[in-house]
Structure 1
Amino acid sequence: MSYRGRFAPSPTGLLHPGSLVAAVGSWLCARHAGGQWLLRMEDIDPPREVPGSAAAILGALPALGLIADEPVVQQSSRIAAYDAAFEQLRDADRVFPCWCSRSDLVASGGMHHGGQCIAPRDASREPAWRIRVPTETIAFVDELQGPQQQDLRDAVGDFVIRRVEGFYSYQLACVVDDAWQGITQVVRGSDLLDSTPRQIWLQRCLGLPTPRYLHLPLVLDSEGRKLSKSEGSREINPHDPMPSLRHALTFLGITPDEMAIHPSELLDAALASFDPHRLTHCSDTVPLNLV
C-alpha cells in the first residue's frame, strides 16, 4: 500500500501551535514519502466541542499551505461503523457493561481489572462498556522515539470504549477510521504515545492492520507546560500564517527558508531537505515561549 498519512484534530478550540506542529509534521512525512495526506475531524464528543471551531480549523489549514488530498472525514458521520465494530467486539465476548462509579474504581486502585463489572447491575441507567484487557505487554517501535512497551493490565486496565452517554471513545473511533482510510503511518503528538498500546490491542481484537507510528514532541510554554486550548495558548492567525509556520518548522528541527514569502513556498523549501529521522526528539525539546 502506498503511503497515507493524516491529521486528525478535535473541534475543541481554534488551531494552536501544538496542533500546527502535528499538522506540519504529518504533512512533511506524507509528502516526503510521495504519499497522500488526509484530514479527519474527530467530532464525536459533543460536550467538549466548541461551536465553530471545526470550520475555523478547516479554514485555517489551507491558508497555511496544508491542503488535504481527499475530502475531510467527519467522525460524527461514521457512527454506524463504530456500532459495527462494537457489535463485533460484543459478539466475540471481548467487552462487558460496567456500572462502576468513581468511588468503586478508587477502591479497586483507580483502574478496572478482572474483565467484569465489580458494581451491582443497575437497570435504571445505561452502563459504560469496557474491553477486557489481558495480562499482556504491547511492544512497538516508534519511528522517532524508539522502542516502547506497556503492560496494558497494569497501566490502564479494562478501558472504556463506549461511554455512559453512548459516545464512542477516541480509542475505538481512531482505530476504526485509521483502518478505513488506509492510514499507513500515524504522525501525532507524544501526548498520545500512551494511547498507542490500547489502539494496537483494539486493532488485534478487530482484525485490523497496525500502521507505523511516529510521535512528535509536545510544544511547551515558557514554564515547561504543554500548550493546549484549555490553557489559553495563542491561536494561529490564518491571515498572517508565516510566523506560525516558521515557529512550527523550527520546533521540528527544520531551518525555515527566510526568503520564502508564501506558505506553500516555505513548506516546499522545508520538504526539499526534510529527513524524518532528523526531527526533534522528545529528549531534545526545550520550552518555547509561544504564548
Structure 2
Amino acid sequence: MQFQTFTYPNNTAVVGRFAPSPSGRMHLGNVFSMLMAWLGAKSAGGNIILRIEDIDPRAASKQHARTLMEDLMWLGLTWDEGPYFQSDRIKIYDQAIAALTAAGYTYPCFCTRAELHTGSAPHACDGTYIYPGTCRTLSLIQRKQKAVDKTPSIRLRVPSNTDKSAVYSFTDLLQGKYRQNLATECGDFIIKRGDGVYAYQLAVVLDDALMGVNQIVRGNDLLSSVPRQLYLQELLGAPHPQYAHIPLLIAPDGHRLSKRNKDLDLGALKARGVTPQQIIGFLAHLAGLVPRGTAVTPNELLPNFSWHALPDCCQDIVVTSEVFDTNS
C-alpha cells in the first residue's frame, strides 16, 4: 500500500547529501563520507545537500553544528542546498507515523533493551537482535495495562516470512548485490522510540525523498539498513535512490573512528598545522584517486573521479594520528 500523504521531487540530475549528527567535532571518517558524496554528485553535474540530523537531543549541539559547517567550508566541501535541521521537521515525521498507524502497519512495543538482548532472543550473524514480535499481538487491554508503567516505542510491521515481499534486494555502487529477508533477518523495527525521538530509518527515508536525494553515500556499517528503508519507501510511495556504501575508517584497535578519537578530529589536525589540501589529498588517496602524499582540493579531484577507483571497497581502512607526519 502507498500513501498519498507526501509529494516527492522527481530529479533527473544527481542529488547527493551529507547528513551528520552534531554530537562533536568531525573526524576523518566523517570527512571521507562527505568527500565521496560531494564527488559523486558533483562529478555527475549534480548538487549536494547538507542536512543536520539533530532529532536526538542527547546527540545535538547548535555549536557543534556551526563548527561542522565552518570545517566543511575550510575543507572546500561546500553545499548547494541547506543546511536543513531535522529538529525543524518533526511534524513531517508525525504525519508519516499517523498514516502508517491508520493503515495498520504499526503497533506499540513495551520491550526493554535488556529484554531484547537476552540470550532467548534471536540474533543475526552480526550479533544484533531480530525482534521476535513479542508485542505484536497484545490486546488493547494488555497495551493499556503496560502503558501505565512504560511509554511504548512504535514498531513497523514487516511482511511475514511466507510473503515474497519480505525479501528486499538492491545493487550497491560499491558493495554489489545485497539481499535481506526482513522477516527472518530483521523483524518488526522501531520508527519512534519510547522517549519520543524518531528513529533514523523513518527520518532519513522521508528527508531524502522530500529533498529529492537520489544518491546516498555513507559508511558500509549502514548497508544492512537499506532493506528497511526500501520497505518504508514503498509504503510511503517514495522513489528508491541509488546507494554507495564506502569503507569505514578505523583505528588501529579495530574500532571505527568516532568523535571520541580526538587525535583524528579536525580540531586536533588544524592545531597541528595540517592543511585542508593535505586532508583532502589523504582521503582521496584512500579512494584510489591520487598518489600518497598529494595535497589537493576537492575541485581538482572532479575530472578523474570514478566509483570504480575505490580499492577493496568491502575492507575497512586503518588510519592513525601519524598519517600527516612528514616522515610517515
Larger radius of gyration: 2
1:164 aligned residue: 194
Given the superposition, is the C-alpha separation of residues 161 and 268 from structure 1 closer, same or farther in structure 2, using an over 3 Å criterion? same
2:226 alignment partner, one of 175, 192, 196: 196
2:318 aligned residue: 287
Residue 153 of structure 1 pairs with residue 175 of structure 2: no
Distance 2:130 2:307 in 1: 37
Residue 37 of structure 1 pairs with residue 67 of structure 2: no
Moved more, 40-49 or 277-286: 277-286
Residue 267 of structure 1 pairs with residue 298 of structure 2: yes
- Distance apart, 1:230 and its partner CA: 3.4
Q: After the TM superposition, which residues 191-230 of structure 1 pair with which residues of structure 2 at under 5 Å, given as runs?
A: 191-230=221-260
**Post-superposition CA distance 1:225-271 (Å, at most 9, x none):** 211113445111485323222221111111169775xxxx6222211
Which secondary structure does the structure 1 equivalent of 2:198 belong to?
coil
Which secondary structure does the structure 2 equivalent of 1:176 belong to?
helix
- The one-letter amino acid of 2:136's match is Q
Q: Does the 8 Å CA contact 2:93/2:206 hold for their aligned counterparts?
A: yes
Which secondary structure does the structure 2 equivalent of 1:54 belong to?
helix
Q: Does the 8 Å CA contact 2:251/2:320 hold for their aligned counterparts?
A: yes
- The one-letter amino acid of 2:28's match is P
- Distance apart, 1:220 and its partner CA: 1.5
Q: After the TM superposition, which residues 112-123 of structure 1 pair with which residues of structure 2 at under 5 Å, given as runs?
A: 112-114=131-133, 116=136, 120-121=142-143, 122-123=146-147
1:92 alignment partner, one of 99, 103, 107: 103
Q: After the TM superposition, which residues 39-54 of structure 1 pair with which residues of structure 2 at under 5 Å, given as runs?
A: 39-50=50-61, 52-54=63-65
2:172 aligned residue: 142
Distance 2:260 2:189 in 1: 25
- Distance apart, 1:51 and its partner CA: 5.8
Q: Does the 8 Å CA contact 1:221/1:288 hold for their aligned counterparts?
A: yes
Q: Does the 8 Å CA contact 2:16/2:48 hold for their aligned counterparts?
A: yes
Residue 250 of structure 1 pairs with residue 285 of structure 2: yes
Distance 2:29 2:294 in 1: 25
Which secondary structure does the structure 2 equivalent of 1:166 belong to?
coil
1:126 aligned residue: 151
- The one-letter amino acid of 2:109's match is C
- The one-letter amino acid of 1:100's match is C
1:179 alignment partner, one of 194, 206, 209: 209
- The one-letter amino acid of 1:204's match is E
- The one-letter amino acid of 2:242's match is R
- The one-letter amino acid of 2:282's match is H
Unaligned 5+ segments in structure 1 are none
1:236 aligned residue: 266
Residue 79 of structure 1 pairs with residue 90 of structure 2: yes
Given the superposition, is the C-alpha separation of residues 145 and 161 from structure 1 closer, same or farther in structure 2, using an over 3 Å criterion? same
2:36 aligned residue: 25
Q: Does the 8 Å CA contact 1:5/1:36 hold for their aligned counterparts?
A: yes
- The one-letter amino acid of 2:69's match is L
Distance 2:110 2:257 in 1: 34
- The one-letter amino acid of 1:43's match is D
**Post-superposition CA distance 1:137-169 (Å, at most 9, x none):** 210000111000111122221111000011100
- Distance apart, 1:103 and its partner CA: 4.5
- Distance apart, 1:27 and its partner CA: 0.4
**Post-superposition CA distance 1:42-97 (Å, at most 9, x none):** 00111123562111111110110011111211011010111111111111110101
Residue 67 of structure 1 pairs with residue 78 of structure 2: yes
Moved more, 223-232 or 60-69: 223-232
Which secondary structure does the structure 2 equivalent of 1:230 belong to?
coil
Moved more, 178-187 or 228-237: 228-237
Instruction: Calculate percent identity across the aligned residue pairs.
Output: 38
* Length-normalised TM-score, structure 1: 0.91
The CA RMSD over aligned residues, in Å, is 2.2
Q: Does the 8 Å CA contact 1:40/1:73 hold for their aligned counterparts?
A: yes
* Aligned residue pairs, count: 287
Given the superposition, is the C-alpha separation of residues 282 and 88 from structure 1 closer, same or farther in structure 2, using an over 3 Å criterion? same
